[in-house]
Amino acid sequence: RDDCQEDPEPACPTDLSGDRITDAVDLGILLALRGTDGQDFPQADIDGDGIVCSTDLGWLLAGWGPCPQ
C-alpha cells in the first residue's frame, strides 16, 4: 500500500468533522447544508445522491457514536 494515497472511502462516513465520532457537531454540519448539493462540503452528502437531505440525516443518526476502529 502506498501511504501517500488516501483511502477511497472514509472509515466513518458519518463523521463529518473528522474527530472519529459521529455526534452533535456532525449533525450541525449536516443541518447547515440540508437542501444543498453539499458542493462546499461534499462529505455531507453521505449517500452520494447529489443533495444533502433526510436520507443523509438517517445515515448520520444510524452511525451515531464512536467510529469503528
pLDDT at 51: 97
Mind listing the pLDDT tens digit for each residue in 37-64? 999 899 999 999 999 999 999 999 999 9
C-alpha cell at 34: 440540508
Give 60 or 1, the one with higher predicted confidence: 60
Identify the three-state secondary structure at position 65.
Answer: strand
- pLDDT tens, position by position, 11-47: 799 999 999 999 999 999 999 999 999 998 999 999 9
pLDDT band at 8 (very low <50, low <70, confident <90, very high): very low
> Phi and psi for 49 in degrees, rounded to 5?
-90, 0
Asked whether residue 6 carries a pLDDT value surpassing 60, the answer given is no
CA angle, residues 9, 50, 23, in degrees to nearest 5: 55
DSSP state, 40? T
The three-class DSSP label of residue 8 is coil
